[in-house]
Amino acid sequence: MNHEYRKQGSLEDVFEWDIVNWSVALTFWNKHLQNSLVGARVLEIGARNGGLSLRLALNGADVIQFR
């Protein structure tokens, strides 16, 4: 899919259709997760277009990909 991002990792790109509810989760994660995700290995399951993976990667995480 050819996807043109408005800003890197904007909430619209990350959460697509449910920005209001997922923004609450993002606030919770930012408060309770370590400050840096550098070196963290993450896997997003059941994603639409991988927006959450994008957000985690922009914060330094290593995204695990299955093809």
The model's confidence at residue 62, banded by pLDDT at 50, 70 and 90, is very high
Q: Where are the alpha helices (DSSP H) in the chain?
A: 11-15, 19-32, 51-58
- For 29-56, write each residue's pLDDT tens digit: 878 776 678 888 988 887 778 878 888 8
The rounded distance, in Å, linking the Cα atoms of 13 and 47 is: 12
Helix, strand, coil shares, percent, the chain, to 5:
40, 5, 55
- For 17-26, write each residue's pLDDT tens digit: 788 888 888 8
Look up the pTM and report it: 0.65
Q: What are the sequence ranges of the domains in the chain?
A: 11-63
The rounded distance, in Å, linking the Cα atoms of 65 and 31 is: 26
